[in-house]
Chain A
Amino acid sequence: MDLNYSTEELAFRAEVRAFLEAKLPQDLLDAVRLGRGIGKEGHDRWHQILNDQGWLAPTWPQQYGGCGWNAVQRHIFEEECCRAHAPRIVPFGLTMLAPVLQKFGSDAQRAYFLPKILSGEHWWCQGYSEPGAGSDLASLSTRAVRDGDHYIVNGQKTWTTLGQFANWIFCLVRTDPQAKQQEGISFLLIDMATPGIEVRPIILLDGTHEVNEVWFNDVRVPAENLVGEENKGWTYAKYLLTHERTNIAGVGFSQAGLEAVKRLARHQLHRGRPLIENPHFAARLARAEIDLMAMSTTNLRIISAAAQGQAPGVESSMLKVKGTEIRQEINDLARRAAGVYALPFASEAVAGDNNALSSPEGSEAVAAQYFNNRKLSIFGGSNEIQKNIIAKVSLGGRT
C-alpha cells in the first residue's frame, strides 16, 4: 500500500492550486470564507470561470466535455477548491442529472441538454420530494397523464433547493397509479417557464431562502422530455441518488471547516489565552480531526475501489452517515468557538453587509451555519434511511 500521492498527483495538485489562486475572484472567496451567500450571479460567474478552464465537469466522460480525470484527481480538485474557499458547484445539473442522461437519455436529449448544463444556460433543480413523500420517496403522487404528444402534470414538489434560480426541473412523476409503487414512476424533464408552474419560497430556520415549493397545475410537458422508458423512472432515480450520496461525504468541506474553527479559536481569548490552548476545546477539536483523518482515508479507499470498476454500494451510505456527522460536529465546534458572538442573528453578515457588528472575523455566520447544516443528515436520504440500507444489505441474507 502506498498512502502517498504520486509525483503526477502532486503536480496536478499544484496546477489546481495555481489556477485557484489566479482565477478565483476575491469577493467570492471572501463570501464563502465567511459563510455568506453568493447569490445566483456569484454561482453563475464561478460556473463560467470553471467552464472556460474546461474544469467544470470532473465526473463526466471526455466525449461529453468532461475533464478526463481519474477518481483521485477529482478528489484532489475538490479538496483544493474547498481549501481555497471556492464556491460549491451547484450539483443538480452537473453531477445528478448529467450522469442519468449520459446513461439512460436519448441521443437527442444528450445533444440538447448536456451542452446547456456546461454553458450555464440551464440551471437545474431536483423535483423528487413531496409533502407526503420524503423518506418514502416511492409514495410520491404528482401525476403525469399522457395526452397525445404531451404529458399533463399535476401535483406538488417540495424542498426544491435553489428552485428560485432554476429554469429546468427534473421530476419523478406517477404515470401508472395502478402499478406497484416503484413501478409506476417516470423521470420527466420540465421547463420551468411552462405555464401552470408556481414556485413558492420556504424560509429556513437560519433565515435563508434556499428551498421552495413547486406547484404544477395542468402543466403540458412534451413527451420527448421523458428520460428512458415510461414507468422505469425509479431505476434512474436510484442511479442518481448514489451519485448524490458520494458527493455528500464532503471531506473537503470538513477540512476547510476544521481550518476555519482553528483560525477562530486562535483569535478568541479565554482567560487571556487563545481558546485553541484550552484543553477541553483542544480535545474536542482533536477528536474531530482524528475522525476526519480516518474518514478521508475511507473516502479514498472507496474512490480507488470505484476507480478500479467496483460500483460503490453500501459504502456510499457509510460515507454519507459518517461524513455528515463529522461536518455537523465541526459546525458545532465553530459555534462554540465563537462564544457569545454566536448569538447575533447575522442576517446582515449572511447577506454580505457586515457593518452591523464588530464580532471577530469568521464568527458572524457560525450559528446560522450550524442550524442550516442540520439538513445534512436529513436530505439525500436521511441518515436513518442510510443505516437501514447498511443493515439490510449486511444482515439481509441472514434474517
Chain B
Amino acid sequence: MNFQLTEERQMLQDSLRRFLRDRYSVAARNQALTDPSGYSPEIWGQLADLGVIGALLPEAAGGYGGAGFDIATVFEELGRAGVVEPVLDSAVLCGVLLCGSGTDPISPRDQKMIDRLIAGDLQLAFAHGEPASRYERTWIETKAVDEGDDILLTGRKSVVVNAEAADLLIVAAREAGSPGDRGGLSLFCVRPDAPGLRMRGSALLAGGRAAEMELDCVRLSKSARIGAAGNAADRIEGTIAAAEVALAAETLGAMETAVRLTMDYLTTRQQFGRPIGTFQALQHRVAEMLIELEQARSAVINAAGHLEDLPLVRDRHIAAARNLIGRTGRHIAEEAIQLHGGIAMTAEYELAHIAKRIVLAEHRFGDADTQLERFIDLTAA
C-alpha cells in the first residue's frame, strides 16, 4: 500500500496551495462574496490557467485527470482556503455530466462545451433538485414532453447553485416514469434566457449564489438533449458520486483550517493570566478534534479510491465518507467556534466563513442521516 500522492498530484497540490495562499486572502474572498455573480471571475480564470478545472476531467474528454484522487487533491486545497468559486457546480457537476459514462460517446457540441469549461470560458449550472426531492437523485417531477421536433419542459427546480452566473443550464427532467424511478430521466441543455424560464436568485450563507427556477413550457429542440433519451440516471448518479468525493475533500480541507486556527488561538489567547490552551478541559477537546480529523482524512481516501469502482461499491464508500464527515465536520466546526469564544462568531474572522462552509456542505447531496440510510440500504443490497 502506498498512501503518497503521485508526483503529478503532489505538484498540483503544491502549486494550488501556493496560489491560494498568495492570492486568496480574506479580503479577496470578501470581494468575491459581494460580486453579483457570487464569485470572482478573475480568480476563476486564474484557477483555469493553473489547470485546476482540467484536473477534474478525464483525458478522453480533453482533461488531465478526473480520477477520485485528482478531485480530492484539488478540493482539499479549495476547502482549506475556503474558496467560494463554483468549481463544484460548474466544473465537477456539469463537467462530469458532459463527459458521460464512457459508453455514451461525447457529442461534438458537448466536447466544445467541455473545452470551453476547461479553458475557463464557460459557466454552467446543474438544475437537478426539486421542492419534493430532498436528497433523492431520481426524485424528479419536471416533465419533458415530446412535441414533434421539440421538447417542452415544465416543472420547478430548487436551490440551483450558480444558476444566475451560468451561460448554460443542464436541466434534469423526466420523459417517462414516476418520481423515484431510475428509467425515463434525460438531461437537457437550456439557455438561461429561454422563454418560459423564470429564476429568483439569492445569496448563499456560505458564499456563492443559487436560484429557484420555474420552467413553464420551455421549448427546446430535440438536439438540446445530452446523451440518450430516458437513460440519464447512471450519468446523474456517477456525476453526483464525483461531486460527493469533491465535497468530502473540500470539507476535510476546511476542517484542517478550523483545527489549525483553533490551535493557534489556544496558544495565544490569554485569560486568567495564561494561554487558554493550558486548561486541560480545552486540551482534551483539541485532542478529540485531531483524532476526528484523521478519521475524516481516511474517509476521504476511501471515497476517492473507490470512485472508479462499480456503483454499488463506490456509493457505499461515498455514503460512509459523507456520513462520517457530516458528523465530524459538525463537531469540529462547533468546537472550533466554542473554543474561540465570541471572536469566532464575527463575520470578518476567518473561522466564521470556514465553519459555515463545513456545516452547510452537509446540505448538499444528503446530510449525515441521509447518508447513513444510504449506507444501510447499500450494505443490505
Residues of chain A touching chain B, judged by Cβ–Cβ distance below 8 Å, are 129, 132, 134-136, 139, 158-159, 202-207, 211, 268-272, 275, 278, 280-281, 284, 332, 335-336, 338-348, 355-360, 367-368, 370-372, 374-375, 377-379, 382-384, 387-388
Contacts and interface: CB of A to CB of B under 8 A. Distances in A.
Contacts of B359: 335, 367, 370-371
B202 A357 contact: yes
Nearest to A372: B345
B381 interface: no
B180 A343 contact: no
Contact of A205 (B134, B210, B346): B346
16 contacts: A159-B342, A203-B347, A205-B345, A211-B342, A271-B139, A336-B367, A340-B134, A340-B135, A342-B363, A343-B360, A344-B202, A348-B202, A358-B200, A371-B355, A371-B356, A384-B279
B345 to A, nearest CB: 5
Contacts of B367: 336, 339
A133 to B, nearest CB: 8
A345 B369 contact: no
A146 B200 CA distance: 60
Nearest to B353: A205
Interface stretch (B14-22, B48-56, B314-322, B330-338): B330-338
Interface residues of chain B: helix, strand, loop or mixed (majority): mixed
Nearest to A270: B134
Contact of A280 (B352, B363, B369): B369
B271 A134 contact: yes
Contacts of A388: 281
Interface centre among B180, B342, B360, by most chain A C-beta atoms within 10 angstroms, is B342
Given A135-B341, A357-B212, A206 B132 contact: no
B282 interface: yes
B134 A135 contact: no
A288 B177 CA distance: 39
Contacts of B342: 129, 134, 158-159, 211, 375, 378-379
A203 B202 contact: no
B216 interface: no
Contacts of B134: 268-271, 275, 339-340
A344 B372 contact: no
B305 interface: no
B210 A332 contact: no
Nearest to B202: A344
Contacts of B355: 205, 371
A134 B372 CA distance: 40
Given A268-B134, A271-B180, A340-B134, A387 B205 contact: no
Interface in B27-43: none
A203 B203 contact: no
B129 interface: yes
Interface centre among A207, A271, A345, A384, by most chain B C-beta atoms within 10 angstroms, is A345
A136 B338 contact: no
Contacts, number: 149
B373 interface: yes
B158 interface: yes
Interface in B143-168: 158-159, 161
B341 A378 contact: yes
Interface residues of B, number: 51
A204 B204 contact: no
B338 A377 contact: yes
A88 to B, nearest CB: 18
A348 B356 CA distance: 18
B132 A342 contact: no
A353 to B, nearest CB: 11
A344 B159 contact: yes
B348 interface: yes
Nearest to B337: A374
Given A347-B203, A356-B202, A281 B345 contact: no
Given A205-B345, A387-B281, 20 more contacts: A205-B344, A205-B356, A207-B347, A278-B369, A280-B372, A336-B369, A339-B363, A340-B158, A340-B364, A342-B363, A343-B363, A345-B205, A346-B202, A348-B202, A356-B202, A367-B363, A368-B205, A374-B338, A374-B344, A378-B342
Contacts of A359: 158, 212
Contacts of B346: 202-205
Contacts of A207: 347
A371 to B, nearest CB: 7
Contacts of A368: 205
A129 B353 CA distance: 24
A271 B203 CA distance: 28
Nearest to B33: A345
Given A340-B159, A342-B363, A357 B338 contact: no
A166 to B, nearest CB: 18
Interface centre among B159, B202, B338, B373, by most chain A C-beta atoms within 10 angstroms, is B202
B136 interface: yes
A339 B200 contact: no
Nearest to A268: B134
A384 B339 CA distance: 9
B132 A272 contact: yes
A202 B212 CA distance: 31
Nearest to A332: B330
A379 B344 CA distance: 12
Interface string B362-381: 01100101001100000000
Contact of A134 (B129, B210, B341, B363): B341
A149 to B, nearest CB: 36
A354 to B, nearest CB: 11
Contacts of A374: 334, 337-338, 344-345
Nearest to A383: B338
